[in-house]
Chains A and B, each alone.
Chain A
Amino acid sequence: MYVAAKGGEKAIRNAHALLAKRRRGNTNLPSITLDQIAQQLTLAVDRVMAEGSLYDVELAALAVKQARGDLIEAIFLIRAFRTTLPRFGYARALDTARMLVRRRVSATYKDLPGGQLLGPTFDYTHRLLDTSLGVADEAEGVADQTDQAGEAEAPVAMPRVTDLLGQEGLIEGAPADDGSEPFDITRAPVSFPVDRSTRLQTLARGDEGYLLALGYSTQRGYGRSHPFVGEIRFGDVEVMFEAPELGFEVSLGTVQVTECQSVNQFKGSATTPPQFTRGYGLVFGQCERKAMSMALVERALRWEELGEEPGAPAQDEEFVLSHSDNVQATGFVEHLKLPHYVDFQAELDLVRRMRAEQAAEMKEAAE
């Protein structure tokens, strides 16, 4: 007698219990705290906030913990929570010229107003494993959540490199804010071709690795646009909101963002003098690699508007934007592990039938 496999419910329960146990690890060790994650795995938390499209350090830290350090899983947890939040309205566009800058480098000028500010960076570290970190250190007194001191100077506001270039008319103007509501990719389905707000939103929540690879490809000749990093800046920006009932702006607090503006090969024509063009990247938290990749890809996607030749993968708007979301991508790739035996049975039947027919034909031919 045959008894069909049953008990999906119990199997799921057991699997989840096992997952919880594995997540906790050895219980002789203390459980990692959200503060520890937020303070010591800052860049993981930043990436989760950026690609999760939700600026909430504590929830992002919780997601990292719950996901056992799997950042795409953590991003997914944040997205699933974010989607349930009510929307109150749209903030004013961030004014990054008024950013309190914690790090700022320009590759186009040796020195400039505000100077270069290295800030907290891996750049110029020797990538040698530091075995001294292998020992747990004692806390050095009471933690202060907001303290970012230890950084050389108090953050200051600095003019943006692209604004300096713009004063001379050397770079295309920043797109004007016409005051209209931006397209919201979380509230309406995207259709192609897209506008700038849709492009930037999609890239801002796009997978870091994916954008890195695409950005890299533009440097290797697939849609090259001769980029310079005009400026990368990381720091705190105030979020301003104008509630219609109030009639004036209020500050909702500050967020930390990384902005990258690339200065790219010029365009011009018989009637318009040549100008540099720009690519734009903006990401929550300190996510420099992502901001730079985003700027490269954003610029590549503007080929049509700038009268360039298409053909490279990074220029293909529908391809690039349709596949950038790692929550969508991981879901669909991983769904292949769900049962497909009904469809497989149908294929199996067809292949058997075709093989039988072919065998019969060959037999007939041989006779």
Chain B
Amino acid sequence: MNAQAAGGMPEITYNFAYLDEQTKRMIRRAILKAIAVPGYQVPFAAREMPMPYGWGTGGVQVTAAVLGPDDVLKVIDQGADDTTNAVAIRGFFEKTARVATTTSTQAATLIQTRHRVPETPLRENQILVYQVPIPEPLRFLEPRETETRQLHALAEYGLMHVKLYEDIARHGHIATTYAYPVEVAGRYVMDPSPIPKFDNPKLDDCPALQLFGAGREKRIYAIPPHTRVRSLDFEDHPFRVQRFAQSCALCAASGVYLDEVILDDKGGRMFVCSDTDYCNGRQEAGHRGEMAGEGA
């Protein structure tokens, strides 16, 4: 336990997928309870990970606890496989678990994501792991954990409805555009992580298992496959998702979530798919947007 002689730094080796087996069992037990009580945030003893809190430590711990040698892993951030944090996390598992990785939503058995649900519909036997910064949907209405825990215990969600309705009164719209709260299996109100509310409908009756990991806040929650997930709304203000007037400038897709890219300082801009795998697939299939080159 003490420092060794100079030059004799301890040899440091890590277990499969980094976490030690005791930690994995602890996380696995939390995952099982999360599945048994859909939408309920199970406290777990999140460990320090070799990446900063807030950068996906919860998702990484869930993935590390679930991952096996036969898995094919995909990691996305903002829908893209090549964003730096996605690259860093994928590299972490390539190094510590030597699992196969892919950018294909179809080919993946386990997808870790930050802020998006892939456009390609998920299928059975897939696992989607969300990175969650603030798991508590009531946190911005009530900062105290002692209070929010009570509200969940009593299924007392009036506060949330009041907040959403105040938005309507003030702005004419529900002003929550991402991390839009959902009710899971008719009981718990849950934060779907900061995905745009555009993605909320994909959570409902999804054939894949959805797991949510919040490392800093030490919570894990889950939505089993084929579970009813309802975005909160009102009779006179039904839940509606954002629609883009444009289609993707590269693959011409419409009805998908688009990133706005600023091209110059004179108001030039374009819209492209946030889901890079989906966009590449369409381009390979010959779809061409207005800004795409001729041959790929």
Contact present between A and B (CB < 8 A): yes
A→B interface (CB under 8 Å): 1-2, 4, 6-9, 11-12, 33-35, 38, 55-59, 62, 76, 79-84, 86, 186-193, 252-253, 318, 322, 327-328, 330-335, 338-343, 345-350, 353-354, 357
Closest Cβ–Cβ distance, residue A361 to chain B (whole Å): 9
B293 contacts partner chain A, Cβ-Cβ < 8 Å: yes
Name the segment of B104-112, B155-163, B167-175 touching the other chain. B167-175
Residue in B closest to A239 when the chains form the complex, CB atoms: B1
B165 touches A (CB below 8 Å): no
Q: Contacts A11-B84, A188-B45, A349-B242: A343 and B2 contacting too (C-beta < 8 A)?
A: no
Whether B20 contacts A343 by the Cβ 8 Å rule is no
Min CB distance A355 to B, Å, is 11
Chain B residues with CB under 8 A of A190: 218
Q: A8-B83, A339-B83 are in contact. Are A252 and B1 (CB under 8 A)?
A: yes
Q: What 0/1 readout, one digit per residue, does chain B (16-56) give for beta carbons within 8 Å of chain A?
A: 00101011000000000000000000011111111011110
State which of A7, A189, A346, A353 has its C-beta within 8 Å of the C-beta of B44: A189
What is the bound-complex CA distance between A55 and B57, given in angstroms? 24
Distance from B17 Cβ to chain A, minimum over Cβ atoms (Å): 12
A84 with B14: CB separation less than 8 A: yes
When A and B form their complex, what is the total count of cross-chain residue pairs whose Cβ atoms lie within 8 Å?
Answer: 170
A342: contacting residue among B55, B171, B196, CB under 8 A: B196
* Contact call B52/A331, Cβ cutoff below 8 A: yes
How distant is A79 from chain B, measured CB to nearest CB, in Å? 4
Chain A residues whose C-beta falls within 8 Å of the C-beta of B263 in the assembled complex:
2
CB of B198 to closest CB in A, whole Å: 7
Contact B12 A4 (CB under 8 A): no
Please indicate the chain B residues that have their CB under 8 angstroms from the CB of A331 in the complex: 52-55, 57, 216
A78 to chain B, nearest CB (A): 9
B177 contacts across to A, CB distance below 8 A: 343, 346-347, 349-350
B231 within 8 A of A: no
For residue B1, give the distance in angstroms from its CB to the closest CB of chain A.
Answer: 7
Pick the most buried of B3, B9, B86, B218: most chain A CB atoms within 10 A of its CB. Answer: B3
CB distance from B6 to the nearest CB of A (A): 6
Bound form: Cα–Cα A193–B250 in Å = 54
| Residues in B whose Cβ lies below 8 Å from that of A2 | 249-250, 261, 263, 270, 272, 291-292
Residues of A within 8 A of B172 (CB): 354, 357
Is B59 part of the binding interface, using a Cβ–Cβ cutoff of 8 Å? Answer: no
Confirm or deny: B87 has a beta carbon within 8 angstroms of a beta carbon on chain A: yes
A48, chain B: closest CB distance, angstroms? 13
Expressed in whole angstroms, the Cα–Cα distance for A332 and B260 within the complex equals 26
For residue B50, which residue of chain A has the nearest CB?
A80
User: Which listed segment binds A: B65-73, B74-82, B121-129, B201-209?
Assistant: B74-82
| Distance of A31 Cα from B257 Cα, bound (Å) | 51
Q: Contact: B144 with A318, CB < 8 Å?
A: yes
Closest beta carbon of chain B to A157's beta carbon, Å: 22
Closest 9 CB pairs of A and B: A331-B53, A58-B3, A335-B54, A331-B52, A346-B177, A189-B43, A1-B293, A332-B54, A8-B87
Residues of A within 8 A of B44 (CB): 189
**What would be 6 A-B contacts, judged by CB atoms less than 8 Å apart?**
A12-B87, A332-B54, A332-B133, A339-B77, A343-B194, A346-B198
